[in-house]
Structure 1
Amino acid sequence: MARSLVDLLTTHASHQPDRTAYRYLVTGDFDGEIQDISYGRLARRARAVAAWLQERGLAGSRAMLLYPPGLEFICGYLGCLSAGVVAVPGVPPQGRSQNHRALTRMKRLMADADVKVILGGREVLAALGAMAEHLPELADITWVSTEDIPDDAAGSWREPELTADSVAFLQYTSGSTSAPRGVVVTHGNLLDNERVITDRMGHTPDVIAEYDHELAVSWLPVYHDMGLMGPVLNTLHLGATATLFSPLHFLQRPERWLTAVSHFRPHSSGGPNFGYELCLKHATPDLLDGLDLSSWKVAFNGAEPVRAATLRRFAETFAPVGFRREAFYPCYGLAEATLMVTGGAVDAPPTLIEAAETGPHAGAADAAAVSSGRPAPGTTVVVADPERQEELAEGEVGEIWVAGASVAKGYWRNTLATRETFRATLAGREGRFLRTGDLGFLRDGELFVTGRLKDLIVIDGRNHYPQDLELSAELCHPALRPGCTAAFSVDGGVAGEQPVLVAEAAPESEDEAEQITDVIRSAVGEAHGLAVHDVVLVRPGTIPKTSSGKIQRHATRAAYLNGTLAAVAAPAAS
């Protein structure tokens, strides 16, 4: 019985040393340069990194991981686990525009985690050295490029004494509504959540054999829980093969995702809803002519609201090249539960509830509620009234609470937040629950996620979900970018709370700005019965997002109130 992923890596390296664990598409193209690593070599590299850490007495301390996309992150991460060192995945600064934000986040994480060592790629660490004047914290921290640690170091590796309660890594939350917090994930949490992913996604031994071990294709960032726990660690858990490439290469040419799936023919691949939308925008006849998506069994969709319109359009567009509607797999998870909480049924189309049937969504344009599936055995999901701490009846919207072995220990060195979030009790039920901060309802055992508790907009006593308003706005004009709209409320004085929409628009649409804002007002008014206080069109890429691509509505609201939005036209408040 494996006690950790370290045990499983040892097993795979022993039983199938030559099998490819991961391949990396250096240019993002399936027919370009490819780097790969076998299970045997992966184990050697992880042990070499681990031995380097052990020799410096770093077991039990925290190591920040700063890598560009590629295979070296995986070696560094598994090296930490193999040394009993707590890994802290970080986002390396990339480009001038992101340097300030990335540096601020990195310094915050280094201080919060009390990082003792930095593991990274050569270029990233060289860039950090050039920024030393802005990072005085580096003076007391050991740092090393793991590429420079020789394979021979693996010979002095000592197997760590790991238990289910040993801390594996800190997954810092993306901070969509608050400052990032370090979720304490244990080796027991990791193994249980890999069991959940395996169970819900149908990754059985027979299926893996049928797919010749080609489990996943992924462009998701590996420092984020969805990209790490699914494509990377579930592959390791099962001894399968995953194909990875850079998120930047996907964003530059979204069709690379589809061509990689077509070429490598994995069982599972997916991402946030916006990824499917980007593919739709690039679905040219020439692209379709070269695709075969018939082997794609699980097209998971999570990390942000799953939109029924996206599922419908994607399935219709790519049906001629073999994509099946039944492959769509909406799911729900969060870092505080390691990752996966619920998932759809393999080989069954997603469950939709039309807008007219769901009170909170009534009247929203194409806003059918999409089921995020059912919890795996051993995971309990309830919907509760967060104030009364009482379980709600089926169909009632409340806060989603979760219990099970995947729920993390708490937040790193934050007793108050841990008690508030991880120690909730429910009348009539034993044990403690994780309060997710997400709103939803249960119907026939399936979970429907409706929004974030803190993002809820209350106008004249009526609840409105910001993603519903955002969807209505985005659908009304082609110049508006999918997944790049933020809705929130502001104090309208005697009028009370009033809705505001900030939307990214194509640069060439500046001359149409007034017309577009009028269309947005009309669409939101017709669908939701709301008079929009203000509509601001901004340049592409300016709405704040988390590291996983979620809209930061609170940060957008703050920028709006401070007058710092990069508007393409002057706001026209009503």
Structure 2
Amino acid sequence: MTPSRSFTEALAGRFSERADHIALCVPDAGGAGADLMTYRELALRARRLARRLGLGATGGRPVLVCMDTGPHLAVAVVGCLLAGAVVSVVPPPASSRAARERMKAITEDTGTSLVLTEAALAADVSRYLAEDDRGGYGGVLCLAVDAPAPGGGADGSDGAYGSDGADADGAHAQQQPPSGDSPALIQYTSGTTAAPRGVVVTHANLLAAMESIRAALSTDQGSRIGGWLPLHHDLGLIGQLLHPLWLGATAVLVPPARFAARPLRWLETLDRYGVTATAAPDTAFARCAAEATDEDVAGLDLSRLRTAVDAAEQVSPGTLADFARRFAPAGLRPGALVAGYGLAEATLMVSVATPADAGGPVLEVTGAGEGAGGRGTLRPRRQEPGADTAVPAPYPVASCGPARGVEVRVVDPDTREELPDREIGEIWVRGDAVSPGYWHRALENAETFGRATASGAGGFLRTGDLGALDDGRLYVTGRIKDVLTVAGRTLHPQEVEHQLRRCGSRFASAAVFMVRPRGGEHLVAVQEVRTSGGGNGELAGLAERVRRCLAEDFGATGSVLLVRPGTVRRTTSGKVRRSVMRELFLRGELRPLHTEPAAGSGAAAAGPPVRKG
């Protein structure tokens, strides 16, 4: 491909080269059909919108794009880029309370003056902007991109995105193309441990990320790339919309509601539209493997799927093995499912395993307190039962493969010393795809970006994630802020939650965290359970299983709260929001089915009162 100076320039090239090729395929909610849009049509609509927005109309502030997954969202994003605007995609406020809170936080943080939506949502978005508890965002204009522009056609066919005017031949909407250093996106983080932060993604960051993804996944113009992740998530926006458009390939955008209603509809859509590359969180692959019947598998053809990336949260080797085994009869290629690791601050991707890594050696985290400042080390997985019974049981971690287009170091977060292979420390990253920083957060930028190791190697991003390298491959073990200290030993909450899920088929997601009430530090396990209606006796028995797992596998005691499925809060990509769960617990806002305070710890250690479900 001809090198481009900006992502916008790259898009203009695809509009010209691939005019008659399908750019977008958006299956409808029922799955009976799909909206198709060629590159010619996408270019025409996006350029109309760019002219409607006008150059400099946003005053240098980001434009929020607030709508459901679909053709209008894609047009809005591309139109903003053509107009030289900075784009931030947010979920519609009507979708949930969390979405409303997220939009409020992002509206305040960006100081935006313009929100783009679609006619079906315009009333809800306008009402929210007018009725916010701060007294409204009076200076924010809400614009429906599919509504007729002033002077446009009444049916919107010619006027919905602005008048064709003199540019109907497809002339570029911008007078001055952006430079590589110009911001293209403000990608807001999911907020696992804090309020959403806006990651500035430049045109140069995007171009570097596109090349790395192409090289890692072997994508090309014949690829069909898609999935169900919402486009306000970086894996959805960058991986499943912008990457195929940059290639000149086809983006297959599955409405997230189809996955939420029945996860296997995602795989059915991959089959129906011949998707060759997809990505999703570990929990999505796990649910599909667990819920698929023999009849479901017999009705699927996944032979055209070349690559499926398990990413956006810590990857379980068990999930990789279970999914590959369950869908092999459906034609899933050996090695098609691979683990990956990335984050918004690195413009999506840091590392991705290769097909050759699938089914390869699995490492495990050893007992707490060993090496790397108590964060543990990795070793080859041991299969013999009963090993190391004096310490918490090791748990397996999957290889996320080699770094892709960036440089990775594992560093002691306290001393900044680089650590040897298999010692767990903080993952540091540098490269052309790494963001220059957060939007208007100078203090956090100084703490997170452009950091130097003890040896003086500079320009690194501190990810806040823990992991280790082994022979050039990255293994991710958790988050620094989530690490637990129990009886002087360090535990990763993921390993505790992993063990709890294995306590029986009634157990779903869990969130494990520490609180510090009167009397010292205290562990809390919030465990989702599926009940059969057996009453308090059944619940007490399930709580006892949790207690036994904590005591026997980890030498820990703590409070146990059994809750309904869906109670554990997650980010848009599926990561457990432990800090949010901790706050809900401390405020007494959880609604447990059953509560067991820590044995012998007294009422104070059990935390604040909780509302009964």
Which TM-score tier does this pair reach, normalised by the shorter chain? Answer: over 0.9
Instruction: Give 2:602's aligned residue.
Output: none
- Asked if 1:405 corresponds to 2:432, the answer is yes
Q: Which of 565, 575, 590 is 1:550 aligned to?
A: 575
How far apart are residue 356 of structure 1 and its match? 7.3
Instruction: Give 1:138's aligned residue.
Output: 137
Q: Distance in 1 between matches of 2:80 and 2:144?
A: 14
Checking the alignment, whether the CA contact within 8 Å between 2:468 and 2:475 is kept in structure 1 is yes
What secondary structure, in the 3-state scheme, does the structure 2 residue paired with 1:130 have?
helix
How far apart are residue 10 of structure 1 and its match? 1.5
Q: Distance in 2 between matches of 1:83 and 1:350?
A: 47
Q: Which of 383, 386, 408 is 1:381 aligned to?
A: 408
Checking the alignment, whether the CA contact within 8 Å between 1:28 and 1:256 is kept in structure 2 is no
Q: Which of 361, 365, 372 is 2:400 aligned to?
A: 372
Checking the alignment, whether the CA contact within 8 Å between 1:364 and 1:472 is kept in structure 2 is no
How far apart are residue 215 of structure 1 and its match? 2.4
What secondary structure, in the 3-state scheme, does the structure 2 residue paired with 1:468 have?
helix
Checking the alignment, whether the CA contact within 8 Å between 2:365 and 2:397 is kept in structure 1 is no
- Give aligned pairs, total: 557
Over 3 Å counting, the alpha-carbon distance change for 1:525 and 1:352 in structure 2 is farther
Q: Distance in 2 between matches of 1:492 and 1:140?
A: 44
- Asked if 1:65 corresponds to 2:65, the answer is yes
1:498 maps to a residue whose letter is H
How far apart are residue 423 of structure 1 and its match? 2.2
What secondary structure, in the 3-state scheme, does the structure 2 residue paired with 1:425 have?
coil
Deviations 1:27-55 (A, max 9, x none): 252xx121011111111111111111116
Q: Distance in 1 between matches of 2:306 and 2:591?
A: 42
Instruction: Output aligned runs, 1:356-367, within 5 Å.
Output: 360=376, 367=395
Q: Distance in 1 between matches of 2:394 and 2:241?
A: 34
What secondary structure, in the 3-state scheme, does the structure 2 residue paired with 1:368 have?
strand
Over 3 Å counting, the alpha-carbon distance change for 1:541 and 1:445 in structure 2 is same
What secondary structure, in the 3-state scheme, does the structure 2 residue paired with 1:551 have?
coil
Deviations 1:455-510 (A, max 9, x none): 000112211110110010011121122xx21011123755x433221012225456
Deviations 1:98-141 (A, max 9, x none): 23x32222122111111010101112221123332236433211
Instruction: Give 1:161's aligned residue.
Output: 177
Q: Distance in 1 between matches of 2:136 and 2:365?
A: 55
Deviations 1:506-535 (A, max 9, x none): 25456321111111222233322x223111
Instruction: Output aligned runs, 1:498-513, within 5 Å.
Output: 498-508=522-532, 511=535, 512-513=538-539
How far apart are residue 264 of structure 1 and its match? 2.4
Instruction: Give 1:468's aligned residue.
Output: 495
Instruction: Give 1:515's aligned residue.
Output: 541
Instruction: Output aligned runs, 1:44-443, within 5 Å.
Output: 44-54=44-54, 57-58=57-58, 60-95=60-95, 98-99=96-97, 101-131=98-128, 132-134=130-132, 136-148=135-147, 149=149, 150=159, 151=161, 153=163, 155=165, 157-203=173-219, 205=220, 208=221, 213-349=222-358, 351-355=360-364, 360=376, 367-377=395-405, 379-443=406-470
Over 3 Å counting, the alpha-carbon distance change for 1:364 and 1:288 in structure 2 is farther
How far apart are residue 292 of structure 1 and its match? 1.5
Give the TM-score normalised by structure 2.
0.87
Checking the alignment, whether the CA contact within 8 Å between 2:223 and 2:249 is kept in structure 1 is yes
Checking the alignment, whether the CA contact within 8 Å between 1:217 and 1:260 is kept in structure 2 is no
- Asked if 1:27 corresponds to 2:43, the answer is no
Instruction: Output aligned runs, 1:1-40, within 5 Å.
Output: 1-27=3-29, 29=31, 32-40=32-40
How far apart are residue 263 of structure 1 and its match? 2.3
Q: Distance in 2 between matches of 1:497 and 1:413?
A: 35
Q: Distance in 1 between matches of 2:56 and 2:84?
A: 13
Over 3 Å counting, the alpha-carbon distance change for 1:177 and 1:519 in structure 2 is same
Q: Distance in 2 between matches of 1:249 and 1:571?
A: 37
Identity %: 35
In our comparison, the structure showing a higher alpha carbon Rg is 2
- Asked if 1:497 corresponds to 2:496, the answer is no
Checking the alignment, whether the CA contact within 8 Å between 1:59 and 1:84 is kept in structure 2 is no
Checking the alignment, whether the CA contact within 8 Å between 1:422 and 1:434 is kept in structure 2 is yes
How far apart are residue 328 of structure 1 and its match? 1.5
Instruction: Give 1:480's aligned residue.
Output: 507
What secondary structure, in the 3-state scheme, does the structure 2 residue paired with 1:573 have?
coil
Deviations 1:59-115 (A, max 9, x none): 6331111011212111111111111111111121234xx23x322221221111110
Over 3 Å counting, the alpha-carbon distance change for 1:356 and 1:182 in structure 2 is closer
- Asked if 1:534 corresponds to 2:559, the answer is yes
Checking the alignment, whether the CA contact within 8 Å between 1:309 and 1:366 is kept in structure 2 is no
Q: Distance in 2 between matches of 1:409 and 1:2?
A: 20
How far apart are residue 143 of structure 1 and its match? 1.7
What secondary structure, in the 3-state scheme, does the structure 1 residue paired with 2:549 have?
helix
Checking the alignment, whether the CA contact within 8 Å between 2:365 and 2:394 is kept in structure 1 is no
Q: Structure 2: 5+ residue runs without aligned partners?
A: 150-158, 168-172, 371-375, 379-387, 600-613
Deviations 1:321-375 (A, max 9, x none): 2223411111110011111011111454154424376864777778311011111
Q: Distance in 2 between matches of 1:245 and 1:58?
A: 30
Checking the alignment, whether the CA contact within 8 Å between 1:166 and 1:186 is kept in structure 2 is yes
What secondary structure, in the 3-state scheme, does the structure 1 residue paired with 2:278 have?
strand
Checking the alignment, whether the CA contact within 8 Å between 2:25 and 2:34 is kept in structure 1 is yes
Over 3 Å counting, the alpha-carbon distance change for 1:139 and 1:28 in structure 2 is same
2:28 maps to a residue whose letter is V
Q: Distance in 1 between matches of 2:341 and 2:306?
A: 18
What secondary structure, in the 3-state scheme, does the structure 2 residue paired with 1:355 have?
strand
Give the TM-score normalised by structure 1.
0.92
Checking the alignment, whether the CA contact within 8 Å between 2:55 and 2:83 is kept in structure 1 is no
Q: Distance in 2 between matches of 1:217 and 1:415?
A: 35
Q: Distance in 1 between matches of 2:252 and 2:184?
A: 24
How far apart are residue 248 of structure 1 and its match? 1.5
Q: Distance in 2 between matches of 1:470 and 1:159?
A: 54
Over 3 Å counting, the alpha-carbon distance change for 1:296 and 1:166 in structure 2 is same
Q: Distance in 2 between matches of 1:548 and 1:291?
A: 25
Instruction: Give 2:471's aligned residue.
Output: 444
* Superposition RMSD in Å: 2.1
1:63 maps to a residue whose letter is V
Deviations 1:248-294 (A, max 9, x none): 11110111111122222322112001111221232112211111222
Checking the alignment, whether the CA contact within 8 Å between 2:61 and 2:110 is kept in structure 1 is no
* Structure richer in helix, relative to its length: 1
Deviations 1:141-185 (A, max 9, x none): 122111125355354533442111001011111110111111111
Checking the alignment, whether the CA contact within 8 Å between 2:486 and 2:556 is kept in structure 1 is no
Over 3 Å counting, the alpha-carbon distance change for 1:272 and 1:366 in structure 2 is farther
Q: Distance in 2 between matches of 1:382 and 1:177?
A: 23
Checking the alignment, whether the CA contact within 8 Å between 1:9 and 1:39 is kept in structure 2 is no
1:2 maps to a residue whose letter is S
- Asked if 1:525 corresponds to 2:551, the answer is yes
Q: Distance in 2 between matches of 1:7 and 1:356?
A: 46
Over 3 Å counting, the alpha-carbon distance change for 1:130 and 1:116 in structure 2 is closer
Q: Distance in 1 between matches of 2:531 and 2:74?
A: 39
Q: Distance in 2 between matches of 1:59 and 1:356?
A: 50
Checking the alignment, whether the CA contact within 8 Å between 1:171 and 1:335 is kept in structure 2 is yes
1:105 maps to a residue whose letter is R
Over 3 Å counting, the alpha-carbon distance change for 1:65 and 1:566 in structure 2 is same
